[in-house]
Amino acid sequence: MRKYDSIIEVQNDLRSGVLNLPQLVRYYVSNINAKPQLNAFLEVWEEEAIKRAEEIQNRFNKGEAGKLAGMIIGLKDNICFKDHAVSASSKILEGFKSIYNSTVVDRLLAEDAILLGRLNCDEFAMGSSNENSAFGAVKNPLDESKVPGGSSGGSAAAVAGDLCLAALGSDTGGSIRQPASLTGIVGLKPTYGRISRYGLIAYASSFDQIGPMTRSVYDSALLLEVMAGGDEFDSTASHNAVPEYSKLLETKGKKKIAYIKDCLESPGLNPEVKQRIYQLIDQLKAEGHSVDPVDFPHLDHLVPTYYVLTTAEASSNLARFDGIHYGYRSKDAAGIDNTYKKSRTEGFGKEVKRRIMLGTFVLSSGYYDAYYGKAQQVRRVIHDKTMKVLEEYDFILTPTSTNEAFALGENTKDPIAMYLEDIFTVQANLAGVPAISLPLGRKQSGLPFGIQLMGRKFEEQELLAFSQKMMNQEV
Amino acid sequence: MNTDRIMKIDKSTVVKIAELSRLELDEHAAEEMVVDLNRMLGFVEKLQEVNTDGVEPLIFMTDETNVYRADIVKDEVSQKDALSNAPKKDMYYFRVPKVIGNSD
């Protein structure tokens, strides 16, 4: 069977009859089984997916199928699907089955998407390499000695490795875009509040967003329009109207694009990546867009601000894992307090504990103002500065990651080196703006890297349309 | 804000924070945590150089205002479902270890 890069191609072949949906599900299942070493899927819902494929095929034949008929999706293992296991790749959620659907799952199912299984990730979405999973590291399908990025590493590996057509990820500081960059796919983090987080296992609630990971901009747009919009179960979900992004992928007129000079001159940036960015800048200028360097004096403050705030929020969000209500309970605990402590100590992995500890520290009396309060103030400075750039410019162009995928084990000993993986992506989460990683870079090694565009809040339509243009014109 | 203040976390702070976090650290893990937390704090110390005099903290990331609904009781999660994932339960309740009068 051929490899499909977009639902448009799938639906064309469904229409002409050269393909049927159960066949497509079996194709992905056989790809998953052929490469177990990737460790992308933690669970495959094969039987259920095939049964659903038969039903949707029937509806499709009658012209009654939803707009996602043919979309075969993997879910990051932190998104709830009723009566299915979900674990945030943590031992502490061993045996847990969701008792309700996340809003995104409800909306995908309503449009006839098929959910194929759940995808490995860094434990509680904390990591940049997918090496923090309780179920083992995920390998990059393009080079199995390399990481796929993280935290949505299983999602990225599954989409890049043709184990499904699309996947959902979640992005708190780059967890959709950085793995998209390292595996050569399209990863979109929507505006904060664009998609409901009801049913997403929380990491840092003032940052987390769910988003699509796909092989085409069109699929990204289509999934966004299905999932976006207000939700009575998530008061942070915006009620702003949701455009039909997939039908509005034509960009009009000349754009104003900013790039941050310090970011391209940063010593950690690989020269080939830098060269590619300047090449794209020249190309955009030649097409008549204006592309200017802008000052952004806070590059060094982005990741520290992110770590203070997200660890603080995580320490609070993860307090719910107590060994009592659900999940893992230590067998040899005596008394209630000891049950909490032993269950959490045995259930959480090392990086999660580190972040809970730092978060508890920055929130503790005596340190709150110096760290947590300070970081909230710096967040406003970063937010306002980013908004100011986006008042004048339509987009901000940066690399998504500093380089191609790194080797498994390369950064695991140094948490700070791992944290700096997020240097170009966290700005969008700190400011709440949408950002997309496009597979527009390739090193001489053959491995990909992504180009990131940030846009204005709730202007995903412009962002996606311009992304489509950039993908079409790739040289 | 004083910019040359370097915070150092010692072992007793780590023990205290672990207690607040409801985590247990053995001797080795506690020592490792002292090193890790000090590195992380050194890294975030960079924030002190940003002038934030008079800057309001940014807390809420959404402009959404309250959406009201009718004040009607809905049974969205049944007792059975709510208990379904509990590691220890009986027909109606979560089972927990004895809370009071443990040893005295």
Question: What pLDDT score does A420 carry?
Answer: 82
Interatomic CA distance for residues A400 and A53, integer angstroms: 36
Each residue's pLDDT, cut to its tens digit, for chain A (475 residues) gives 899 999 999 999 999 999 999 999 999 999 999 999 999 999 999 999 999 999 999 999 999 999 999 999 999 999 999 999 999 999 999 899 999 999 999 999 999 999 999 999 999 999 999 999 999 999 999 999 999 999 999 999 999 999 999 999 999 999 999 999 999 999 999 999 999 999 999 999 999 999 999 999 999 999 999 999 999 999 999 999 999 999 999 999 999 999 999 999 988 899 999 999 999 999 999 999 999 999 999 999 999 999 999 999 999 999 999 999 999 999 988 899 999 999 999 999 999 999 999 999 999 999 999 999 999 999 999 999 999 999 999 999 999 999 999 999 998 887 777 888 899 999 999 999 999 999 999 999 999 999 999 999 999 999 999 999 999 986 4
Which position among A175, A238, A437, A467 bears the catalytic label? A175
Q: How many CB atoms within 10 Å of residue B96?
A: 18
DSSP A293: E
Class for the domain spanning B3-47:
mainly alpha
Q: Which residue has the tokens 């999932």?
A: A227
A301 with B66: Cβ contact below 8 A? no
User: In what order do the strands lie in the sheet containing A395-399?
Assistant: A41-44, A114-119, A72-76, A166-171, A209-214, A186-189, A435-442, A448-454, A395-399, A256-260, A290-294
The CATH architecture to which A7-247 belongs is Alpha-Beta Complex (3.90)
Cβ(A426)–Cβ(A365) under 8 Å?
Answer: no
How far is CA A165 from each of CA A1, A10, A21, A168, A175, rounded to the nearest angstrom? 14, 9, 12, 11, 19
Which residues 63-102 in chain B show a CB within 8 A of chain A? Answer: 63-64, 66-67, 69, 77, 81-82, 84-88, 94, 96-99, 102
Chain B CB contacts of A308 below 8 Å: 44, 47
Half-sphere exposure of A296 (CA within 13 A, CB side): 30
Q: How many CB atoms within 10 Å of residue A289?
A: 18
Question: What pLDDT score does B2 carry?
Answer: 41
Short-list A147, A153, A82, CA closest to A120: A153
Chain B CB contacts of A381 below 8 Å: 50, 52, 55
Cβ(A187)–Cβ(A177) under 8 Å?
Answer: yes
Q: How confident is the model at residue B102 (pLDDT cuts 50, 70, 90)?
A: low
Half-sphere exposure of A261 (CA within 13 A, CB side): 5
Q: How confident is the model at residue B101 (pLDDT cuts 50, 70, 90)?
A: low
Q: Is B35 on the interface with A (CB under 8 A)?
A: no
Closest approach of B66 to chain A, Cα-based (Å) = 7
Interatomic CA distance for residues A172 and A77, integer angstroms: 15
Question: What pLDDT score does B6 carry?
Answer: 55
Q: Is A76 a catalytic residue?
A: yes
> Which residue of A358, A381, A415 is in closest CB contact with B50?
A381
Closest approach of B33 to chain A, Cα-based (Å) = 7
Average pLDDT of every residue of chain B: 87
| Secondary-structure percent of chain A, ordered helix, strand, coil, rounded to 5 | 45, 15, 40
Q: Is A206 a catalytic residue?
A: no
Which residues 309-368 in chain A show a CB within 8 A of chain B? Answer: 315, 319, 322-329, 333-342, 344-345, 348, 353-354, 356-358, 360-361, 364, 367
A348 with B23: Cβ contact below 8 A? yes
Question: What pLDDT score does A474 carry?
Answer: 66
- A184 Rama sector, left if φ>0, alpha if ψ -120 to 50, beta otherwise: left
pLDDT at B104 over 50: no
**CB neighbour list of residue B55: distance below 8 Å, 6 or more residues apart:** A377, A380, A381
Question: What pLDDT score does A83 carry?
Answer: 98
- Number of A:B CB contacts under 8 A? 172
CA dihedral B51, B54, B58, B63 (to 10 degrees): -140
**CB neighbour list of residue B17: distance below 8 Å, 6 or more residues apart:** A357, A360, A361, A364, B9, B37
